[in-house]
Amino acid sequence: MDPARIAELLRPFLARDGAARLSLTSQQLEQISTYIDLLLRWNARMNLTAVRQPEEIVTRHFGESLFAAQHLFPSRDVEGRFIDIGSGAGFPGLPIKIWNAKLHTTLIESNHKKATFLREVIRTLTLTNIDVFAGRAQDFPGSADLVILRAVERFEAILPTAAGLVVSGGRLAVLIGEGQVKAAHEKLPELRWLALAPIPQSTNRVLLVGERAL
């Protein structure tokens, strides 16, 4: 897909108050273009995403993921450990890694075919300091400064597991519908929940972030 068109489609997700906040480099746009090509090829053989039109992939998947990235990491020089639970086709974990290459990233995906796809994207994009854990989040032995969830099955059931992977002073981020916010607050009252960030071009999708005390 043309990188210039990708940049145009992503502009609303990387803006605040109508003004461009941060932009993607030409290398990052090329990486996204290559990623989309891979996703379309693999999606013809296995069900990675129900969204099959390239431009809709950009807005639905990359837009939401990069919206989260620029909120969570307005400075792209921040180092730290980052976990994406239920990574699937790589969203939001891989776009966040593309946004901030310094993050030590772990993509947790229990479906082995999807995990194979994630490794192929990592290899093709020559990403470093990133791992794929082909298992359940409950079995992952590590922890991280930021743990994120998007479009996972049994959302409420996985929340305590996700929160358990967050270090003291770390953050749990969830990309969810507004109707799920109350459940997150009730399930994890020990976190300090920040104000919702509505996702552009969506009627009810939000980024919700909770902080664990030191």
Query: DSSP of 32-49, one letter per residue?
Result: HHHHHHHHHHHHTTS-S-
* Residue 20, pLDDT score: 47
User: Which long-range contacts link 34-43 to residues 24+ away (Cβ below 8 Å)?
Assistant: 34/124, 34/125, 35/90, 35/94, 35/98, 35/121, 35/124, 35/125, 36/1, 36/6, 37/1, 38/117, 38/120, 38/121, 38/124, 39/89, 39/90, 39/121, 42/117, 42/120, 43/89
Work out whether strand 197-198 and strand 192-193 pair parallel, antiparallel, or are unpaired. Answer: unpaired
Domain that holds residue 201: 3-211
Q: In this predicted model, what pLDDT tens digit does every residue of 105-158 receive, in sequence order? A: 999 999 999 999 999 999 999 999 999 999 999 999 999 999 999 977 788 899
* Residue 52, pLDDT score: 87
What spatial distance separates the first Cα and last Cα of the chain, rounded to whole Å?
Answer: 44
Amino acid (1-letter code) at residue 73: F
pTM recorded for the entire structure: 0.95
Q: How confident is the model at residue 89 (pLDDT cuts 50, 70, 90)?
A: very high
Residue 149's DSSP bridge partners are 85, 174
For the chain, what is the mean pLDDT?
Answer: 94
CATH number for the domain harbouring residue 55: 3.40.50.150
The total number of structural domains that make up the chain: 1
* Residue 15, pLDDT score: 74
Q: In this predicted model, what pLDDT tens digit does every residue of 29-40 receive, in sequence order? A: 999 999 999 999
What is the rounded average pLDDT of the residues 67-75?
92
Q: How confident is the model at residue 27 (pLDDT cuts 50, 70, 90)?
A: very high
